[in-house]
Structure 1
Amino acid sequence: MSSIQNIGISGLRSAQSGLLTASHNISNANTPGYNRQQIVQSTNNPLPRGSGFVGQGVQVTTVQRIYSQFLTSQALQVQTQSSQLSSYYNEIKQIDNLLADTSSGLSPAMQNFFSAAQDVATNPTSIPSRQALLSHAQILVGRLQEMDQHFSEMRDGVNKQLTSNVEEINVLATQIAKLNINIQTAEGVAGGQPANDLRDQRDLLLRELSQFIKVDVVRQDNGHYNVFVGSGQALVVGDRTMTLKTVVAPDDAQRLTVALDMGNKTILLPEHQLQGGSLGGLFAFREETLDSTQNTLGLIALGLAQTFNDQHRLGQDLHGLLGGDFFHIPEPGVQAASGNDSASSVTVAVSDVGALTASDYRFEYDGTNYTLTRLSDNFSVSTPVAPDATPLTLDGLSITDATIQSGEHFLIQPTRQAAQGIGIAIQDPARIAAAAPIRTEADIANTGTATISAGRVNSPLDTNLQKTVTITFQSSNLFKVTGDGLPTDDQTYKSGEDISFNGWSIQIDGKPAAGDTFVIRANTNGVADNRNALLMAGLQTQNSLLNETASFQSTYASLVSQVGSKTRELEVMNRAQTNMLAQVDQSIQSLSGVNLEEEAANLLRYQQAFQAASKVIEISNSLFDTLLRI
């Protein structure tokens, strides 16, 4: 009778385990990260009898998770890619909206500024037109500064998000390490049976961690998960965690980066190794888009201000004075690396604004050579001689007065802060140099057919620029030049060829006669002259940037196009990756999710099994009572 009763009890226990497991599944149907569980049953060892083996009931060998390691690993990979794209897209679309805005973008401000310059050329004596130019110049400067401020705020926002993400990563790593210990302890006490709920919690933490950074998991025999992030940096090893922290980049005080905190020292982690998740998306956005966009805006600001200044200095204002700077222009940004000696320094100047790029640069000394490197493509120039008397130049930058020790370096950002730093240098509208400082005349008594051009100023620094110069023809192909300090020998004449003295150039066309004279003199009382204003207005369409291959407007249009294309690309990729993540999650739910209808059926099935096993026990007791009555 005891064998029948034991079989009934084993069935009762098995059905009870099934009821408990089904009830547990139903209760956790909406628990994040929960994997459906089921009991695994096997028959007890049968007993041999003369008539054969007689069964001894059932046992529950384990309660297992319905779990796919492949799908879980795939979900981690897809999740980290989705988070990276989402983080990058959320940031870049802010820049896209800012640049492409037809009302608050830069294009309308530049167009209005050059239209005002054209209006001054049309009405050079008009004070209201001149005041309008100053007003639109101030609006343009304000727009550049406003846009740059947005970029700086985004840079600060990236730094704050990096700090927040690193803190979350550290918290999750600590929780995973604790669960490693708890799982090992719980499974040791249970004789190696899996701690399913604790394992679910750990997998959920890994899923959350993958939202911040790429995760690789190495599963150990003792139940521990060793977690590696990025491109192989250990984060969790058994019950130990490596702590990350954000630190100021050694060569850029505005940039936070990630380092490994070893207690007594800090090890910087290369940003390109910290891939995936929102952390990788922020790094990629800052390096690929934010830096280049802010630098390009600064390039436009610096190029426009410098070329306008250069042309303005070639003109003459309403007071008859030579033009000065129209815009204030900031110096290139130079940051010493954190390990440099405090006495080390370098002087950087822009020698050719048209050759500038939107890249940052590194200047370093290795004990033998001084090297200037363009960081966008690592192209460099070097010299073994300290760049003082002979400057070291690259892309319109000039390096001089370098006091630097071996192993030290400087970060040079020629355009990063240019948009924020420019300003208006004049306030008096009469100081706008709309006129040319020289004028030319042909003697009315000339008998030849030659004509003289209006003249072009080459250098406003020449002290003889406005002194009177007379050109007298000895014959149709020879002329003399008279004036202070000028050569007295005969000059050969060629029609249309430049004649240059005292910082100006003119051309005489046609056939002169002997005795014909032409005069170049100061443009006294030339208040209605608009020649320099026309040249300043013409800068709008002139290719002044990127080695004279692009205008200000085309450079900005190219920037808007690049950012727009990248934004659209990320939008499409992010949507596709989100759909892929949803599909993977659906596959996981199909396999591991709780189906309430199925669990309700299991409850009925185990209830019936429980009742049937109870009946077996009841029959066993009845049979035993019958034997006792014999």
Structure 2
Amino acid sequence: MSILSVGQSALNAAQVGLVTTGHNIANAATPGYNRQVVVQGAVSGQDAGYGFIGKGTEVTGVRRVYSEFLGNQVVSTQTAKGQLDSYYSQIQQVNNMLGDSKSGLSPALQDFFSSVQSTTSDPSSAAARQSMLSSANTLAGRFQSMDAQLNEQRQGVNAEIRSSVEGINAYAQQIGKLNDAIEKVMNNGGGAPNDLLDQRDQAVSELSKEIKVNVVKQGNTFNVMIGSGQPLVVGNKTYNLSVVQSPTDAGRAEVAYDINGKPVMLAEESITGGKLGGVMEFRSKTLDATQSALGRVAITLATEFNRQHALGQDQAGAPGGQFFDIGAPMVGPSSANSKNANGSPKGELVASFDPAATSLLTASDYKVQVTGTNPAAFSVLRLSDNKPVSEIAGVQLQLTGSPSVGDTFTVRPTAGGASAATGIKVKLDDPAKIALGSPLRGTSAASNTGTGAVGGVAATAPTAKPVQPFTITFSNPTTFSITDSSGNAVLSNQTFQAGADIAAGGWKLQIKGAPAAGDVFTVGANNGASGDNSNALALASLQSAKTTAGDASFQGAYSQLVNQVGNKTRELEVTSAAAGQLYTSAVTAQQSESGVNLDEEAANLLKYQQAYQAAGKLMKTASDMFNVLLSLGA
């Protein structure tokens, strides 16, 4: 065995060590790089009869220091962190808008009802009436402004979805190409292509920032699945995602999986993890619900205010008209519904608010599906909890045209209630037409001997003037009868309770005190009463009335929305921070094993340098010995 060849093997090993160490140092800051180490072993010795003589060393490989377990932990914690961070950054904007003490809805509601309250002191004041009209326009504008901000955020979500899908497709292509390159190297009998393996792991890591992935190893190949098991990468073949328009909402971007060039829409709940999962969850669980809840407050307020306003009379003595304009529920027919030859839908679903039941409106959306055509019939699914219901509370539905069984429609009763295009607006433009007075007046006959007095006279249905007089006559202190202006009996022998409503013919009143037998009270038109504030008081009382679902006032319903979003924001803040800590811990653990430590590499550099120098001296010694032999021969 030649000493020279032993020295040469040592020199080669030291050189590989130096190159590998230099490669580690050069890539210390490269994302996804795992440090590499030289795997070195002794060459089998040669039997010399008296024992085996060593034949030097050999490099058997260059191995990357990589823990699959720690790598998977980094990927999983990164996916969870990405979803929470994305959701949190989006909901923060909604929370800041709703809770703003100046630009939120609460101050506008307070100002509006304060202006209504001001008119009760002097209903004939033109300034008070104008102030009420101005604050009403401000309130409607605030609803519209907040809805516009939510729509802007909705467009931002659409943009985020498109950007994320583009990134997912790009990373999938990269993983597919790396799979192909790695397979070619490994199948040709080469060693592990460490840098290609690092690049593939890094591509998977970057992909996991966008969406939750499931990696299945098949030999040297990574197969990547997403959603509910849809393959994104299989070997070197990739499958693309695309962004499509929702079949029932032209302004809503949805994610589709391309199968043979045809996009098939994925269910929102199947898309989880990463930035894409975060924005999808934010839209479905917070943005949609917030916009619908805000619209519900607008619709309920406008409907209830209109109802009470119509029961009053304006300064000219005319019945109160519509104070607010309010649109209809939003209906989105599916693009897959049956169509006529010209492309128009065969059937339509018409939805309208039930003025008597707006207090039952919820913030949920609904899916309506045609189940019969003769007669027309349909089923209703409440989308907030995916439960079938018999009807949409507060909404009247009617199928028109010739729909086919299976046609579907998405109904969003309150989603557009606060918008400028389809929602709340102030219809009145003349302060004198604000109906602050009551069209009715109750009087006591001068000949009455009891202590009964008329109070709380109000219309219960819009009443066109002139209102015919009604007479209430007490036959004894606890029994009364009502007759109309012609003396016809309306109610006979009714039991009287002090302070309880007495109602008939579109009006109601209370008689306080103790009427005596023979006492008479009259209800008639309230002529020439421009200074009457009866209806103004009734309008002002709506501020605290339980007018929305859950027995909440307008302000209470809005406060519930603010609290829900605020609590969710705080929850996400805490969970996002916790997920960040878990991710940091996982990265630290992974880097402690696989990351490049420059101090360690500097020591390795010195070690391999000294080994190289020693190997060189060994070869020089062999050369000197050879020269001695040559000189002896001479």
TM-score by length of 2: 0.93
The aligned residue for residue 317 of structure 1 is 314
The aligned residue for residue 384 of structure 2 is 376
Structure 1 residue 312 displacement after superposition: 0.4
For 2:217 and 2:617, the matched residues in 1 are separated by 46
Q: Is the 8 A contact 1:37 1:64 kept in 2?
A: yes
For 1:338 and 1:609, the matched residues in 2 are separated by 74
Q: Is the 8 A contact 1:474 1:480 kept in 2?
A: no
Structure 1 residue 601 displacement after superposition: 1.7
Are residues 607 and 485 of structure 1, via their aligned partners in 2, closer, same or farther at CA, if it must alter by over 3 Å?
farther
Please state if 1:248 is matched with 2:245: yes
Structure 1 residue 176 displacement after superposition: 1.1
The aligned residue for residue 385 of structure 1 is none
Q: Is the 8 A contact 1:231 1:275 kept in 2?
A: no
Structure 2 SS opposite 1:518: strand
Structure 1 SS opposite 2:63: strand
Please state if 1:580 is matched with 2:582: yes
Q: Is the 8 A contact 2:465 2:525 kept in 1?
A: no
Q: Cα deviations across residues 102-136 of structure 1 (Å, max 9, x unaligned)?
A: 01110000000000000011110101000000000
Are residues 479 and 29 of structure 1, via their aligned partners in 2, closer, same or farther at CA, if it must alter by over 3 Å?
closer
For 1:466 and 1:200, the matched residues in 2 are separated by 88
The aligned residue for residue 364 of structure 2 is 359
Structure 1 residue 490 displacement after superposition: 4.8
* Residue type of the alignment partner of 2:506: G
Structure 2 SS opposite 1:166: helix
- Residue 284 (structure 1) aligned to one of 266, 281, 285: 281
The aligned residue for residue 458 of structure 1 is 460
For 2:510 and 2:130, the matched residues in 1 are separated by 34
The aligned residue for residue 347 of structure 2 is 344
Please state if 1:275 is matched with 2:272: yes
Q: Cα deviations across residues 272-328 of structure 1 (Å, max 9, x unaligned)?
A: 111100000001101111111111100111111111111100101001001011100
Which shows bigger deviation, 231-240 or 617-626?
617-626
Structure 1 SS opposite 2:418: helix
For 1:10 and 1:480, the matched residues in 2 are separated by 121
- Residue 447 (structure 2) aligned to one of 436, 445, 448: 445
Q: Is the 8 A contact 2:176 2:237 kept in 1?
A: yes
The aligned residue for residue 341 of structure 2 is none
Are residues 619 and 121 of structure 1, via their aligned partners in 2, closer, same or farther at CA, if it must alter by over 3 Å?
same
Please state if 1:429 is matched with 2:431: yes
Q: Is the 8 A contact 1:230 1:276 kept in 2?
A: no
Q: Cα deviations across residues 500-542 of structure 1 (Å, max 9, x unaligned)?
A: 3321123445554554332211110111110110010111111
Are residues 454 and 224 of structure 1, via their aligned partners in 2, closer, same or farther at CA, if it must alter by over 3 Å?
closer
Q: Is the 8 A contact 1:479 1:493 kept in 2?
A: no
Matches within 5 A, 1:325-340: 325-340=322-337
* Residue type of the alignment partner of 1:216: N
For 2:273 and 2:222, the matched residues in 1 are separated by 20
- Residue 594 (structure 1) aligned to one of 578, 586, 596: 596
Structure 1 residue 375 displacement after superposition: 1.1
Q: Cα deviations across residues 416-468 of structure 1 (Å, max 9, x unaligned)?
A: 010012100101001010000000111112234433334221111x5587112
Q: Cα deviations across residues 301-357 of structure 1 (Å, max 9, x unaligned)?
A: 111111111110010100100101110011111110111121211121222100000
For 1:64 and 1:465, the matched residues in 2 are separated by 99
Unaligned runs of 5+ in 1: 383-392
For 2:529 and 2:405, the matched residues in 1 are separated by 58
* Residue type of the alignment partner of 1:468: P
Unaligned runs of 5+ in 2: 339-344
Structure 1 SS opposite 2:210: coil
Please state if 1:143 is matched with 2:142: yes
Q: Is the 8 A contact 2:470 2:482 kept in 1?
A: no
For 1:349 and 1:115, the matched residues in 2 are separated by 31
The aligned residue for residue 4 of structure 1 is 3
Matches within 5 A, 1:431-580: 431-460=433-462, 466-473=467-474, 477=479, 479=481, 481-484=483-486, 486-487=488-489, 490-496=492-498, 498-509=501-512, 512-513=515-516, 515-547=518-550, 549-580=551-582
Q: Cα deviations across residues 158-177 of structure 1 (Å, max 9, x unaligned)?
A: 00100000001101111111
For 1:615 and 1:488, the matched residues in 2 are separated by 127
The aligned residue for residue 190 of structure 2 is 192
Q: Is the 8 A contact 2:360 2:394 kept in 1?
A: yes
Structure 1 residue 544 displacement after superposition: 0.5
Q: Is the 8 A contact 2:183 2:221 kept in 1?
A: yes
Are residues 488 and 540 of structure 1, via their aligned partners in 2, closer, same or farther at CA, if it must alter by over 3 Å?
closer
For 2:628 and 2:313, the matched residues in 1 are separated by 130
For 1:379 and 1:489, the matched residues in 2 are separated by 46
Structure 1 residue 231 displacement after superposition: 3.6
Q: How many residues are aligned here? A: 615
Which shows bigger deviation, 393-402 or 128-137?
393-402
Matches within 5 A, 1:88-99: 88-99=87-98
* Residue type of the alignment partner of 2:226: V
* Residue type of the alignment partner of 2:470: V
Are residues 149 and 480 of structure 1, via their aligned partners in 2, closer, same or farther at CA, if it must alter by over 3 Å?
closer
Pairwise CA RMSD of aligned residues? 1.9
Q: Is the 8 A contact 2:458 2:534 kept in 1?
A: no
Are residues 51 and 366 of structure 1, via their aligned partners in 2, closer, same or farther at CA, if it must alter by over 3 Å?
farther
